[in-house]
Amino acid sequence: MERNDEMGSRDEDEDDEEGQDAGAAKDKAWDEMDWDGKGLLLKNSDRLRYQDSMDRILLDQPEVPECPLCREYMLLAGQETMGDNQFKAHTAEALDKPLLAAPFALDVYVCTSCFQVSKVLAEPHREALMDNVRNSKSE
Ligand SMILES: [Zn+2]
């Protein structure tokens, strides 16, 4: 700051202004060069394409959960069906029947960044689960 003021008072004409503009342009060019110089150009276009496609996929996705680990958006990869032989239902003390009875489906989501997998109870089974909670035994 102080040094700039000193230079300004020394020149005191339009040359000073031109000098500043040239300096700013040079800085910008250097930034871009440095960015490309590190070999990031190709990686960036790959990443942009990935991001672009992802955005389009996510637009059609009814639910977009966030990754519990890195907070990136997760893509719906498919559904897993839980059958009787895979799932042993638990009946809570306060309930007459199991909270969740097989068969039911889970939506399987994959993180687009760290590939963590998350499973969420699929839509048609949520209401049933909430009903089971609502119908807890009254004392
Ligand atoms: Zn993640």
Please state the domain extents for the chain.
Answer: 64-139
| 118 C-alpha to ligand 1 centroid (Å) | 10
| 104 C-alpha to ligand 1 centroid (Å) | 26
| 129 C-alpha to ligand 1 centroid (Å) | 28
* Spans in the chain with pLDDT lower than 70: 1-42, 139
Q: CA–CA separation, 108 vs 78, rounded Å?
A: 5
Between the alpha carbon of residue 87 and those of residues 19, 81, 112, 121, the distances in Å are 74, 10, 28, 13
| 60 C-alpha to ligand 1 centroid (Å) | 20
| 63 C-alpha to ligand 1 centroid (Å) | 16
Between the alpha carbon of residue 46 and those of residues 31, 37, 68, 71, 135, the distances in Å are 20, 17, 25, 21, 52
| 122 C-alpha to ligand 1 centroid (Å) | 21
Q: CA–CA separation, 78 vs 38, rounded Å?
A: 38
| 75 C-alpha to ligand 1 centroid (Å) | 11
SS (H, E, C) 36-65: HHCCHHHHHHHHHHHHHHHHHHHHHCCCCC
User: What confidence score (pLDDT) does residue 121 get?
Assistant: 97
| 16 C-alpha to ligand 1 centroid (Å) | 50
User: What confidence score (pLDDT) does residue 2 get?
Assistant: 46
φ/ψ of 4, rounded to 5, equals -60, -45
- Asked whether the whole model's pTM tops 0.75, one would answer no
